[in-house]
């Protein structure tokens, strides 16, 4: 039976390039599969197809933990499922191959550390946002129009100017103009 090394590559968006991962995995894999979507998305059809095609003796090859798994728990669960099927996991950037006892130990430890770091990052982000709010910082996207601009645009529309012309004058899309004017009318802004 011919055992395969199947490489899985993921980039989060269409703008990101997979070239580096391809260059690193191509020499050691029999096949490469590329997916362009977030690991946190509801589904990863390429990843799911790769997992389904793996058979006993095959190896799933990824560049790093975060390129294939949503969390350490996800990585450990998938690795356990692969092991039951006689499939090993190779994480190239860490030099980990779960086909060996040392590789399995290293994988378990690295997955736990990665999960811990993700949790700590989340905590630090939440703390930073809370401090920023407490200090009166506005969070999120900067509005495209000021309240004064929206009021002026509302007056221009009341005088009969076309929405598209007023929107063009402020350099915004007509929908954006309408949204800002609607905010003037909403009770939460009154």
The residues annotated with a catalytic role in the active site are 12
Q: Which two tokens stand for residue 100?
A: 């060996």
Give CA 61 to chain center in angstroms.
Answer: 20
Sign of CA dihedral 95, 96, 100, 101: positive
What are the angstrom distances between the C-alpha of 190 and each of 22, 168, 177, 178, 186? 55, 27, 18, 17, 7
As a whole number of angstroms, the distance between CA 7 and CA 58 comes to: 11
């Amino acid at each position: 039976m011919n055992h395969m090394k199947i490489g899985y590559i993921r980039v989060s968006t269409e703008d990101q390039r997979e070239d580096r991962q391809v260059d690193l995995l191509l020499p050691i894999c029999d096949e490469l599969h590329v997916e362009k979507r977030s690991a946190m998305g509801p589904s990863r059809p390429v990843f799911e197809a790769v997992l389904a095609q793996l058979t006993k003796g095959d190896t799933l090859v990824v560049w790093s933990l975060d390129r294939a798994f949503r969390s350490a728990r996800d990585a450990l669960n998938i690795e356990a499922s692969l092991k039951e099927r006689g499939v090993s996991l190779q994480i190239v950037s860490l030099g980990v191959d779960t086909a060996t006892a040392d590789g399995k130990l290293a994988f378990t430890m690295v997955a736990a550390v990665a999960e811990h770091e993700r949790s700590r990052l989340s905590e630090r982000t939440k703390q930073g946002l809370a401090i920023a709010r407490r200090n009166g910082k506005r969070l999120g996207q900067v509005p495209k129009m000021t309240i004064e601009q929206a009021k002026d645009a509302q007056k221009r529309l009341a005088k009969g100017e076309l929405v598209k012309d007023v929107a063009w004058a402020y350099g915004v899309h007509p929908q954006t103009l309408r949204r800002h004017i609607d905010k003037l009318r909403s009770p939460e802004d009154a």
